[in-house]
Chains A and B, each alone.
Chain A
Amino acid sequence: MINKNFSLEEAVKDIFDGAVILIGGFGAAGTPHNLVEAISKGPAKDLTLVYNAFSQLLAWVTPTNVKKVISTFPVAALSSWKTGCLAEEIKAGKLEVELVPQGTFVERIRAGGAGIPAFFTPVGVGTIVEEGKRKSSFFGKEYLLEFAIKADFALIKADKADRWGNLTYRMAQRNFNPIMATAANVVIAEVDETVEVGELSPEVIVTPSIYVDRVVKVPKRVIRYGYHEVKD
C-alpha cells in the first residue's frame, strides 16, 4: 500500500550538507512554515535555498546553515518592513546570492522538472541580469540564455493531500508550489488535512501524486505576515 505520510522530524531527517532546497510560497500564502523552521535548526549545513522572497523564510528563525540563496526578492523593499530573513547577511555580502527575475526563476524551475536544460528569455536584456550570460537574437530581438534549476529537496505547502500525495491548494497558496513539486529528487509537502485515496476528485487535483514523496500533516498555523509585523 502506498503511504507517503511522514512526521515532521522523519520528513527532513535525511537532508544533507550542501543540499539544494526549493521553498514554495509567496508572502505567507503557500509557505511551508513548519518545514522551513525544521531545516533552519539544522544539522545540515552549507545549504542552497531557492525561494521567491524573504517572506519564505521566517523572521524569528535565522538559518545559520545557509551558503547560497537563489531568490527574486531576498531583501525587503521598504525599511519599515521587518528585518531578518537573512537580509543583514545578504547586504553584508556574507552569502552567495543569485538574484533572478521572478518569471525567469519559475521558468528555470519548470524547465528543471520538465527535462529542458536551458531556454531563452527576453527578460533582463540591457540590465544587470544579462552579465555573464550568452545573448542570442531571434527574429530581430535579443534574448538571454538561462539554465534549468534542479534541486535535491522541495519544501512545498498544500491544503489537502491524499495517501498517494495528490495535492489541492487553498486560495493563492498555489504560486510556486506546483512547479517546485516537479523539480526536486525528494518533494516534501506540508498540508493541513490528509484524506483517503479517492476522496479528492480528479478534477480538483492540482499536483499529481507522481511528484510527491512525503506528506507532513501539521496543525494549521496562521502566520500573519507583512508589512506591519509578524504575528504567529
Chain B
Amino acid sequence: MANYEVTINNGSGSENMELGEYTVAATYAPGYDMSTLQPTSYTVSSAGQTGAFTLSANGTLTIIFNETGAAGGTPITSGSVVMTDATGETQYGPVVEIDSTGTAVFENVPYGSAQSGYTLHFKQLTSDENHNVYPDVFTVGMGDQTQTEYILNTPNTVEQNFTLTDANYTGMPIEDASLSFTANE
C-alpha cells in the first residue's frame, strides 16, 4: 500500500508517486480547518500531473478605516479594500466594500495564535470623497478567530488664504493676529 506525505510550502509541493487511486487528507495546516480539504480523492495516471486542492478557514477580520487609525476616530463613510499578496500586485478574493461606519468585514480568513499569527496583506482601493486612501499595503497578523484592526485615512485638505483688515479703516492690514477655526459637528 503506497502512502505519501506531501509537504506544501506557499501553496505547492511535489512528489514521485506510484500510479493509482488515493484517498487524501490534510494532516497539518495551521490557520485552516483541515476537515474542509477538497477534493479528498486523487488519481495518479501519468507523470507531470498537477493536483489542485483547497482548504477553508473560519476566522473573521473586521477592518475599521478612520481618521486616527485607532479606536474612537471619525470613520470614513465609504470605500473598498481587497486582500493581496505582500507586494499588493496580486489580489485574492473579492473586493470588499467599506460601509457607512468605515467598516469592512472579511469572513473565512485563516488565523493562527497570539504567539504566531497568520500573516495577511490588504490594499485599500478607495476612500470617501473627504479622505485619503491609506497609501501602502498593510499587513495583519491574524492571531485570533475574531479580530478588529484600525487603518488611518487622513482627511482631505485644500489650501485656503485669509486676510484680516481693520473694520474702520478700510484696507489697513492688522499686523498680528491668530484666528481659530473649529469644525461644526
Chain B binds chain A: no
Task: Name A's B-contacting residues (CB within 8 A).
Answer: none
